[in-house]
Amino acid sequence: MNMDEETEKAQPKDVVWHDHGLSRDDREKLLGQKGLLLWFTGLSGSGKSTIASAFQKRLFDEKRLVYILDGDNIRHGLNSDLGFTKEERSENIRRIGEVGKLFVDAGVITIAAFISPYRKDRQEVRDKLGERFVEVYVKCSLEECEKRDTKGLYRKARSGKIGDFTGVSAPYEEPENPEIEVDTAKLDVEQSVQLICDWLEKEGLWKDESAIHERTGEEE
């Protein structure tokens, strides 16, 4: 082992977690909501980004702090060094999981819209987040996604111009037990958004009524 490797390995145990005195709970009280990571998974073109935008708008109109981590956008910045091999996809999802965890700790309702084709990678994010992780399967047949082909990517994948393309030349592992499933071949965008909102309402997630009262009380 050379010196560099030794230094690198020595780092984690010499880094001590610092408690900054405010918790997620404190921030959630301030915001009057619960930090959540809604994980949208599905084929390219299934509707993840479209539903994420509409859902975000709906929550924002209800004065909720909400933020979208979008697969394509994150690959322009934080993950611009990653490609589409199995290992790179795993690393892509691992990083987003860590970013999502920070956002949830900040009390933000966070929507992650990523193909995230491997069950194991999604499970690892779930394990990190526990009950704050909500898997939303944006379901749509490959046939329908190819028909939409809004970005022209399926055409390129079929003609061999893009390799490792999910559904064509790379696998997609469907969620086995997602909290929510929206079938975009059957539901329109608003119906999908409504289904997600209904589920959150039913589970008592996202709103923190006691905190809202506390804040209203202070303002009066």
Query: Which residues are catalytically annotated?
Result: 116
Length of the chain: 220
Q: Considering only residues 33-52, where is the footprint of ligand ADP by CB under 6 A? A: 42, 44-51
The DSSP code for 130 is: G
Both structure tokens of 6 = 């030794």
**Residue 188 near ligand ADP by CB under 6 A:** yes
**Residue 198 near ligand ADP by CB under 6 A:** no
| CB distance 182 to 73 below 8 Å | no
Q: Considering only residues 53-112, where is the footprint of ligand ADP by CB under 6 A? A: none
Instruction: Give the nearer residue to ligand ADP in terms of CB position, either 33 or 184.
Output: 184
Instruction: Give the nearer residue to ligand ADP in terms of CB position, either 153 or 200.
Output: 153
The DSSP code for 162 is: S
Can you tell me whether residue 27 is helix, strand or coil?
helix
Number of residues that bind ligand ADP (CB under 6 A): 18
Q: Considering only residues 141-160, where is the footprint of ligand ADP by CB under 6 A? A: 148, 150
**Residue 178 near ligand ADP by CB under 6 A:** no
Q: Shortest approach of ligand ADP to residue 102 CB, angstroms?
A: 23
Instruction: Give the nearer residue to ligand ADP in terms of CB position, either 171 or 204.
Output: 171
**Residue 195 near ligand ADP by CB under 6 A:** no
**Residue 184 near ligand ADP by CB under 6 A:** yes
Per-state percent for the chain, helix, strand, coil, to nearest 5: 50, 15, 35
d(CA 72, CA 63): 26
Instruction: Give the nearer residue to ligand ADP in terms of CB position, either 85 or 150.
Output: 150
Characterize the bridge pairing of strands 109-113 and 66-70: parallel
In this structure, the number of other CB atoms found within 10 A of the CB of residue 208 comes to: 21
Interface with ligand ADP (CB under 6 A): 42, 44-51, 113, 138, 148, 150, 184, 187-189, 192
